[in-house]
Structure 1
Amino acid sequence: MKICVVGLGNIGFNLFVYLDQKFPGEVIGVDVNEGRVKELRRQGYRVTADYRALTGIDVWLMAPSTGNQGQNLFSALEHMIICPGSLISIESTLPPGTMVRIREFLEKRGFKLGTDLFLIHVPHRVMFGVDKTVCDTPRVMGAFTKECLKKGREFYNPLVPLLVEVGDVRVAELSKVVENVKRYVDVAFAQEIYGFCVSKGISYEELRTAVNSKNNVELLATDWGIGGECLPKDMNFLRTVCSSALLEGAELADKNYRDSIQVQVGSDKEVWVRGISYKTGVKDLNHSRGVDLVRALEAAGNTVKVDDPLFSPDELNEAGFNPIDQQELNSQDPKVDAARVILDRHKALEAKGLPLI
C-alpha cells in the first residue's frame, strides 16, 4: 500500500508522522511549499513538492489548508496522478457544499465513484496540547456511496478509537464546521460574562468554579480573543450558508472584547503583555490574537514588551518582539512596577497599573 498525505502544515504533518510510524516505508508527503519540504527532508522525512513523483498511490489523504472556497484543495486535485481503485479521503475542513463540487470534478475526469474511485470525507479532529495525534479521537466519515464507505471503513477502523459513519456526506461536512462554531460561540459568551464580572467587581474565576460544578455545563476561560486558524475560518464558512443573528452577535461580541482590551490601555505607556502564543501551552504564534494585540498597542504609541513561558528571549527577538528582561521580571520595586501596565492573557480586562474599566 502506498499512502500520500497532501499538505504538511500542522494537521497534515501530524497525520503524516503518525502514519509513517504505522506503515514504515509506505507513506510519502507532498506540499507546495518548497521551503517546508526542504526543511522536512533535512529532518529525514520522505516528502516532495513534485506531484509528478507520486505514481501508483493507493490512498490519498487530503489535508491542505482549504482556502475560502476550497481552492487549495482543488489545486491539489488538479496535480494528482489518480489511479483507478484508489481511495481519496478529504480530511480538510470544508465550506458546506464542497464535497459535491469535488464529486463533480472527479466525474468530469471520468471516474465513477464507488466503482473505480472511492471518495470519502473524514474531517480531522485534534486538540493540540491535549491529543497527541489526529487519530486519538473519534472521527466522522461520510461518502456518496456505500462502496466508498466500505473502502474508508477498511482503512480508518484500525487507526481510530471510533469511526462514526453518516449516510449523508453533508452531515460529515457540516459536523466539523459546527463543532468549531459551537466553540466560538461558547468563547464569545465567556468573554461577555467575564466583561460583566469585571465591570461589577465580581470574581470571574469564582463564578466559573460555581457554574462548572454542574456536570453538564462548562463556562470557559478567556484569552486575548478568539484566535487560531480554525474557529474564525469556520465561523465564516457557516455564516456564508446560514444567516443567523446569534452567529453575527458572537462575531461582534468577540470584536468588541478585543477592542476593550486595547481601549483600557490607551496610548503612550509602557505595556507588558504576558503570553502571546495563539493558545496556552501551544508554541505557535500564527493566528495569535496576542500578536494582534501587541501590534495594535504599538500602533497606538505604546512601548510594548512581551513574555511567554514557551519562548526564549532570543526566539521572541527573532519573531520581532521586545522581550521583558529577566531582571525586570524579578524586580520588586513598587515605583517601577506602578509605572507600567501589565496585561495577562486570562485576565485581559484587569490590567495592572490601570483602574478597572
Structure 2
Amino acid sequence: MKICVVGLGNIGFNLFAFLCQRFAGDVIGVDVNERRVDELRRQGYRVTGDYRDLTEIDVWLMAPSTGNQGENLFAALGQMVLCPGSLISVESTLPPGTMRRVREFLAEKGLTVGTDIYLIHVPHRVMFGVDKTVCDTPRVIGAFTEACLEKGRQFYAPLVPGLVEVSDIRVAELSKVVENVKRYIDVVFAEEIYGYCADQGVDYNELRRAVNSKNNVELLETDWGIGGECLPKDMRFLRSVCHSTLLEGAEQADRQYRSRIVRQVGSGKKVLVRGVSYKTGVKDLKHSRGVDLVSALEAAGNTVWVEDPLFTAAELRSAGFRVKDDQENENEGSVADGVVLERQRALEMELPLELDNGL
C-alpha cells in the first residue's frame, strides 16, 4: 500500500510523521512550499513538491490548508494522478458543501465515486499541547456510498481509538466546524465573564474553580483573544451558511475584548508582554493574537518588549520583537509608568514596572 499525505503544515506533518512510523517506507508527503519540502528532506523525510513523482498511490490523505472556499484542496486534486480503486480521504476542515463539489470534480474527470474511486471525509482532530498525534482521538467518518465507507473503515480502524460513522457526509463536514465554533463561543463567554470580574474586582480564577467543580461545566481560561488558524476560519465557514446573531455577536465580542486590552494600556507606555505564541505551550507565532497585540500596542505609541519561555531571545529578535533582556542596553532608565501584561490575566495590568531592575 502506497500512501501520500498532501499538505505538510502543522496538521499534515503530524499525520505524515505518525504514518511514517506505522508504514515505514510506504509513505510520501507532498507540499507546494519548496522551503518546507527542502527543510523536511534535510531531516530525512521522503517528500516532494512535484506531483509527477507520485505514481500508483493507493491512499491519498488530503490535509492542505483549506483556503477561503477550499481552493487549496481543489488545486491539489487537480494535480493528482488518480489510479482506479484508490482511496481519497479529505482530512482538512471544509466549508459546508465542499465534499459535494469534490464528488462533482471527480465526476468531471470521468471517475464515479464508489466504483472507480473511493471518497471519504475524516476531519482531523488534534489538540496541540494535549494530543500527541491526530490519531489519538476518535474520528468522525462520512461517505457518499457504503463502498466508500467500507474502504475508510479498513484504513482508519487500525489507526484510531474509534470511528464515529455518520450516514450523511454533510454531518461529517459540519461536525468539525461546529466543534471549533462551539469552542469559539466558549472562549468568548469566558472573555465576557472575565471582563465583568475585572470591572468588579472579583477573582476570575477563583470563580473558575467554583464553577468548574460541577462536572458538566467548564469555564475556560482567557488569552489575548481568539487566535490560531482554525477557530476564526471555521467561524467564517459556519457564518457563511448559518446566519445567526449569536455567531455575529461572538465575533464582535472577541474584537471588543482584544481592543479593551489595548485601550487599557493607553499610549506612551513601556510595556512588557509575557507570551506571544499562538497558544500557551505551543511554539508557533503564526496566527497569534499575542503578535497582533504587540503590533497594536506599538501602533498606539507604546514601546513594547516581549518574553516567552518557548522561544530563545535570539528567536524572538529574529521575529522582529524587542526582547526584555535588551532593555538594559537601550538606555531607557527606570520605567515608572511601565506595565506588564500576562496572557491569562490580560485585563490586570501590573503597574508600575522597572524593566531595568529585572523581573
Same fold (TM over 0.5): yes
Q: For residue 122 of structure 1, what is the aligned residue in structure 2?
A: 122
CA distance in structure 2 between the aligned counterparts of 1:327 and 1:223, rounded to whole angstroms: 25
CA distance in structure 2 between the aligned counterparts of 1:77 and 1:283, rounded to whole angstroms: 31
Structure 1 position 48 matched with structure 2 position 48: yes
- The Cα shift of 1:337 comes to 6.2
CA distance in structure 1 between the aligned counterparts of 2:221 and 2:17, rounded to whole angstroms: 32
CA distance in structure 1 between the aligned counterparts of 2:345 and 2:137, rounded to whole angstroms: 31
Q: For residue 347 of structure 1, what is the aligned residue in structure 2?
A: 345
TM-score between the two structures when normalised by the length of structure 1: 0.96
Amino acid at match of 1:172: A
Q: Which SS does the other structure have where 1:88 is aligned?
A: strand
Amino acid at match of 1:89: S
Match runs of 1:126-165 below 5 Å = 126-165=126-165
Q: For residue 332 of structure 1, what is the aligned residue in structure 2?
A: none
| Structure 2 contact 8–30 (Cα < 8 Å) conserved | yes
Match runs of 1:60-209 below 5 Å = 60-209=60-209
Q: For residue 39 of structure 1, what is the aligned residue in structure 2?
A: 39
What CA deviation, in whole Å up to 9, does each residue of 1:297-342 have, x standing for no partner?
11111100000010111110011000101897xxxxxx94643111
Amino acid at match of 2:188: A
- The Cα shift of 1:113 comes to 1.1
CA distance in structure 2 between the aligned counterparts of 1:125 and 1:176, rounded to whole angstroms: 8
Match runs of 1:204-215 below 5 Å = 204-215=204-215
CA distance in structure 2 between the aligned counterparts of 1:220 and 1:338, rounded to whole angstroms: 34
CA distance in structure 2 between the aligned counterparts of 1:302 and 1:230, rounded to whole angstroms: 30
Q: Which SS does the other structure have where 1:256 is aligned?
A: helix
| Structure 2 contact 37–49 (Cα < 8 Å) conserved | yes
Match runs of 1:245-264 below 5 Å = 245-264=245-264
RMSD of aligned residue pairs (Cα, Å): 1.2
Gap regions ≥5 residues in structure 1? 329-334
Aligned-pair identity (%): 74
Q: Which SS does the other structure have where 2:344 is aligned?
A: helix
Q: For residue 241 of structure 1, what is the aligned residue in structure 2?
A: 241
- The Cα shift of 1:114 comes to 1.0
Q: Which SS does the other structure have where 1:187 is aligned?
A: helix
- The Cα shift of 1:274 comes to 0.5
Q: Which SS does the other structure have where 1:24 is aligned?
A: coil
Match runs of 1:281-300 below 5 Å = 281-300=281-300
CA distance in structure 2 between the aligned counterparts of 1:326 and 1:52, rounded to whole angstroms: 49
What CA deviation, in whole Å up to 9, does each residue of 1:89-133 have, x standing for no partner?
000000000000000000111111111100000000000000000
Gap regions ≥5 residues in structure 2? 353-359
Q: Which SS does the other structure have where 1:196 is aligned?
A: helix
Structure 1 position 230 matched with structure 2 position 230: yes
CA distance in structure 1 between the aligned counterparts of 2:199 and 2:292, rounded to whole angstroms: 24
CA distance in structure 2 between the aligned counterparts of 1:35 and 1:342, rounded to whole angstroms: 37
The count of residues paired between Structure 1 and Structure 2 equals: 348
CA distance in structure 2 between the aligned counterparts of 1:286 and 1:35, rounded to whole angstroms: 16
CA distance in structure 1 between the aligned counterparts of 2:324 and 2:155, rounded to whole angstroms: 50
CA distance in structure 1 between the aligned counterparts of 2:225 and 2:101, rounded to whole angstroms: 34
Amino acid at match of 1:108: E
Q: For residue 357 of structure 2, what is the aligned residue in structure 1?
A: none
What CA deviation, in whole Å up to 9, does each residue of 1:265-304 have, x standing for no partner?
1111100000110000000000000000001111111100
Structure 1 position 324 matched with structure 2 position 324: yes
CA distance in structure 2 between the aligned counterparts of 1:67 and 1:129, rounded to whole angstroms: 24
TM-score between the two structures when normalised by the length of structure 2: 0.95
Q: Which SS does the other structure have where 1:29 is aligned?
A: strand
Amino acid at match of 1:270: K
CA distance in structure 1 between the aligned counterparts of 2:129 and 2:334, rounded to whole angstroms: 36
Q: For residue 331 of structure 1, what is the aligned residue in structure 2?
A: none
Match runs of 1:271-282 below 5 Å = 271-282=271-282
Q: For residue 57 of structure 2, what is the aligned residue in structure 1?
A: 57
Q: Which SS does the other structure have where 2:226 is aligned?
A: coil
Q: Which SS does the other structure have where 1:186 is aligned?
A: helix
Q: Which SS does the other structure have where 2:341 is aligned?
A: strand
| Structure 2 contact 270–335 (Cα < 8 Å) conserved | no
What CA deviation, in whole Å up to 9, does each residue of 1:51-94 have, x standing for no partner?
01100000000000000000000000000000000000000000
